[in-house]
Structure 1
Amino acid sequence: MIIIDKKSECSGCEACASVCPVRCITFEADGEGFLYPLVDESRCIGCGACNDVCPVENPRHPIAPRATFGVVNPNRAVRRLSSSGGFFYLLAVGIVERGGVVFGAAFDEQGAVVHRGVESIDELDALRGSKYSQSHIGSAYAEALQALADGREVLFSGTPCQVSGFLHLVPQEYRDRVLAVDIVCHGVPSPAVWRARLSEITGGGKPLKINFRDKRGGWAKYGLAVEYRRTDGVATESYTPKDKEPFYRGFVEDLYCRPSCAECPSKGFSSGADLTLGDLWGYEERYPEDGVGVVFVGSERGAKALESVEAEKFRVEYSEAVAHNPSIEKSNPAHPNREKFFSAFLSIGDEGKGCAALIDKNVQKPFTELVIGFVKRKFGKK
């Protein structure tokens, strides 16, 4: 059965639960809101399949990307609705138009982040944009494998640990029909903290639309936009610029990221992804409103996918991209107040009252100062 020496090493990718032939592994949330495997030992047959697909037990070696590009979707409306340059949307449209299935992170009706598959262009909007909470894989791996067994193409997107988990499940004979896409990942925040903050924002109302990277203030000055229906039935919206939103501050300062993120085993392009996507920071003056994405090419399959997309593309030095995205190579140490925060967080009820204040109490710095400090810590600058 699945055994990891330290709980803090488990990334929650859920590959073990998906491969178990007797379905004796389930994932349950701990007090911090992160999912961990729970094994019913009375049903376990000791086949070892779970350990065989565990990315922690079977790590891949880091690789150097073949090339690095800046990419901009020519459709400004699409860029406006995307987190970066709208490149993921172009990839996804191509897969769907060829009869394939695209898997990625989406919000459910309660505003939680879950993985799901879509088969139409209209459904792609659900997968677009950043989701700053660890997603629940659920049946997504199994559905993707079934699509491959049916002879279809699959684009699977997620964090590096999720993509690594999925690729450990994919039979070699299917690999040429998989386009694996991961992201430049800072870490995954607690779903429980996000749930509490969302409830605090909506006052217990029903979330209708969530955008973690609303660009009304520009690409680099995004904010958190939440459309929701109040308890009295009135539809309204909350918008908070990133430098005013406590949830962003706690995330950037690693106050409530998953423990495994502090020593991520999937850094350095070791997930096996064909493409890695992120923001090409440093180009804010050139693309101030809608943004530009960075694309790291990890395989020949990824290179062909990039070539097939009609978009503005330009070569970028790898060192330039890393200078503004240190999380590409390095993990982020947990905030010193992390344990203190979660001890107090457990007393916050379902309505989330006091969540923002608790974050502010433990991270008492402006957002811009946090970002500057984060970069300095990564590169040792004084």
Structure 2
Amino acid sequence: MKTVCNLDMCCGCMACIDICTKNAIRIERDLDVYNAVIDDKKCMRCGECKKVCQNCNDEIVKNEPLGWYQGWIKDETRQNSSSGGVAAAIEKYFYNSIGDVYSCCYKNGEFVFICADSISDIASFAGSKYVKSNPSGVYKAIKEKLRNGKKILFIGLPCQVSAVKLFVGENLEHGLFTVDLICHGTPTPELLYVYLNQHGIYQKMVSNILFRSKSNFQLITDAEYITTKGTCDAYSIAFLSGLDYTENCYYCNYACSARVSDITLGDSWGSELPKEEVKKGISLILANTSKGKYLLNAIQIAIQPVDKEKAIKENNQLCRPTERNSGRSYFFKEIKAGSSFDKIIWKIFPWICFKQLIKSILIKSRIIGGGAKYNPYGIIIQYK
């Protein structure tokens, strides 16, 4: 099998598919890996796919942040955001004042990238998405618009930001503004659908999927909780523990303080700000370039400095990739054999699952309220 990059190291950015004029590349997806496979019969040996593949480029430019901040949007959008809503503030400003906005949403049963046609489209970008999304098709559209003098804002994971920058090239990059989201790693959407299907939920039937609300990590489909509201379900436990990412994520080139985008956003975990603000959500904000500084100065947010060392300590993807969980091989072996997702997680994490069961009983008995607090590394550290 001939692949664009090293076997099992494809991050699924899909840039190679967009660049190939002969449709000679397909993405082969397993539950635990992606591979960009080349059809030798169609391939013209032009090498364009390798030019846009970040795994084949050693000179991707990253910048150490010019400023480290924390903050939040000053309107009601904050309550619908995973953290402080700063991404929404940037998107709204750019859409109203500068140009087109591209980001990820759940649409027609798939996690895809779209160009916002309205403020309601921007609202659909809100929320964390703990699954790989598909930017295929948007690279060509973005490059064409940049050629025509349009300004573009692209918000995605670091590997997706890198892909769009490689695709458009340095000559057009002056019109491209980018925001990357601090990423712990991502599972394949196929794995998410296995979990949902085992609970009688099918992707084409679902109009919306939420993965967390502020510091509460729990999968919700169309406002319906798969497990007791306030408890952590098996899919979330697997994600938070670093159990089920695709292979490339454990070798991520972007898990460092130097960033590939103009602005980096995440959660300001461990913030020392007042508890009432922390509960509402606070974003960690890294201004990496002069373009990033410009956008932050233009939007209406509450913003203040944050301690760099503490921010890195609380977001370990700013210094290293997530470590592979020791149960990963067993997990995928059992999942591929058709075993129950829930039962596998119970076997790998019995104590965590037992605590969630007890919590579910207490919530149903109205002895405690729903809600759980987690650290960003996937270990449940506190219950309330």
| Structure 1 residues 221-370: aligned runs within 5 Å | 221-227=216-222, 238=226, 240=228, 243-269=231-257, 272-283=260-271, 285-348=275-338, 354-366=340-352
Q: How far 1:363 sits from its partner (Å)?
A: 2.9
Please say if residues 64 and 268 of structure 1, whose CA atoms lie closer than 8 Å, have aligned partners that are also in contact: no
Report what 1:22 is aligned to.
22
Which residue, out of 121, 144, 147, partners 1:146? 144
Report what 1:55 is aligned to.
54
Report what 2:93 is aligned to.
94
Please say if residues 13 and 136 of structure 2, whose CA atoms lie closer than 8 Å, have aligned partners that are also in contact: no
Unaligned 5+ runs, structure 2: 357-372, 380-384
Letter in 1 for 2:25: I
Q: Mean alpha-carbon deviation: is it higher for 44-53 or for 309-318?
A: 44-53
Distance 1:35 1:366 in 2: 30
Distance 2:291 2:98 in 1: 18
Cα 1:152/1:238, change in 2 over 3 Å: same
Distance 1:249 1:97 in 2: 39
Letter in 1 for 2:18: S
Distance 1:301 1:29 in 2: 36
Distance 2:248 2:221 in 1: 29
Distance 1:177 1:164 in 2: 15
The number of equivalent residue pairs is 357
Distance 1:173 1:225 in 2: 43
Please say if residues 62 and 269 of structure 1, whose CA atoms lie closer than 8 Å, have aligned partners that are also in contact: no
Q: How far 1:291 sits from its partner (Å)?
A: 0.3
Distance 1:118 1:201 in 2: 32
| Structure 1 residues 69-218: aligned runs within 5 Å | 69-75=69-75, 77-98=76-97, 100-110=99-109, 112-204=110-202, 206-214=205-213
Please say if residues 219 and 235 of structure 2, whose CA atoms lie closer than 8 Å, have aligned partners that are also in contact: no
Cα 1:242/1:63, change in 2 over 3 Å: farther
Distance 2:376 2:13 in 1: 30
CA deviations over 1:141-193 (Å, ceiling 9, x no partner): 12222222232221111111111111111132321221111111100112222
Please give the TM-score of this superposition, normalised by the length of structure 2. 0.85
CA deviations over 1:200-230 (Å, ceiling 9, x no partner): 345448213221123xxxx3234332217xx
Distance 1:286 1:80 in 2: 13
Report what 2:215 is aligned to.
220
Letter in 2 for 1:128: A
Distance 1:127 1:374 in 2: 24
Please give the TM-score of this superposition, normalised by the length of structure 1. 0.85
Q: How far 1:356 sits from its partner (Å)?
A: 2.0
Report what 2:45 is aligned to.
46
Q: Mean alpha-carbon deviation: is it higher for 312-321 or for 353-362?
A: 353-362
Distance 1:310 1:267 in 2: 29
Q: Percent identity?
A: 23
Please say if residues 259 and 288 of structure 2, whose CA atoms lie closer than 8 Å, have aligned partners that are also in contact: no
Cα 1:373/1:169, change in 2 over 3 Å: closer
Report what 1:231 is aligned to.
none
Q: Residue 9 of structure 1 aligns to a residue in which SS?
A: coil
Cα RMSD of the aligned pairs, angstroms, is 2.6
Report what 2:382 is aligned to.
none
Q: Residue 8 of structure 2 aligns to a residue in which SS?
A: helix
Distance 2:9 2:139 in 1: 21
Unaligned 5+ runs, structure 1: 229-235, 377-382
Q: How far 1:126 sits from its partner (Å)?
A: 1.6
Q: Residue 279 of structure 2 aligns to a residue in which SS?
A: coil
